[in-house]
Amino acid sequence: MHELRVSSIQMVSTPVVQENLDRAAYWIRHAAQAKATLVVLPEYFCLMGLNDTDKVKAKERLGAGPIQEFLASLARQHSIYLVAGTIPLESGDPSKVLNTTLVFDPNGQQIARYDKIHLFGFQTDEERYQESETISAGNQPGVLSFKINGAEWRLGLSICYDLRFPELYRAMGSVDCHLIPAAFTHTTGKAHWEILLRARAIENQCYVLASAQGGLHLNQRRTWGNSMLIDPWGEVLENMELGEGLITGSLSKEKINAVRSKLPALHHRTM
């Protein structure tokens, strides 16, 4: 059988970068002990600032900076593929950052990158979020490919609010799993998180591995949590509701092929 052991880490990140890196390192070590080959961190894992502009102050240049160096060393130390949630990287606008997923291989080399395309905006009488005020949008889908034990794995990269835009997932083509770091708010997560994740798995007939923020943060933002592993039939295999921790499971090529064989919906597409 061709399987890939994966872990998704859930965090309740703080405004202190080093605290978050230490917690990420702790859970990555546990994921490696659980024999995970690929580990995913949540969106904003390294910083959930007291102000939206805090991430601009913490930005790094691609390929240089303490956050990236730390993550590369962890991937190398544990011989894993590390999907590093999101990191604030320099953009063309000094007042904004790119909200970027970087992937490091077991040698600590950066092998994939995705800049968040869809920027979250939400407003009620109690809550207001407008990512476009401090984040520059990306414009290219991201896909990660590597081979292990003779099997080629193709994994889609997306971030949080991207989940609401199915055309992005179609644009990535056929993948084995979509990896989705996120920081869904409690309000929107309660209403839509699970159903959107399961929909992306069902319509693309692939696994979905989502890594979330899950709790009340010092900036009083409340995130939904519920990091999940979902199979190509839309069944939730693993779920962690709130707090810090991780989920671990396996992706199966045979399961993907079985679902696509008995219901060849991807071949039935006409547009």
Separation of alpha carbons 185 and 174, rounded Å: 29
Of 96, 116, 177, 255, catalytic: 116
Of 46, 59, 60, 160, catalytic: 160
Contact 159, 180 (CB under 8 A): yes
Contact 99, 159 (CB under 8 A): yes
Contact 30, 24 (CB under 8 A): no
116 tagged catalytic: yes
Strands, E, within the chain: which ranges? 3-10, 38-40, 81-83, 87-90, 97-104, 110-115, 121-123, 128-130, 135-136, 142-148, 151-157, 177-182, 207-212, 227-230, 236-240, 245-252
Which secondary-structure segment (H or E) carries 270?
none
160 tagged catalytic: yes
Separation of alpha carbons 251 and 230, rounded Å: 10
177 tagged catalytic: no
Which residues, in sequence order, are CB contacts of 77 under 8 Å at separation 6+?
none
Separation of alpha carbons 11 and 268, rounded Å: 40
Residue numbers annotated as active site: 43, 116, 160
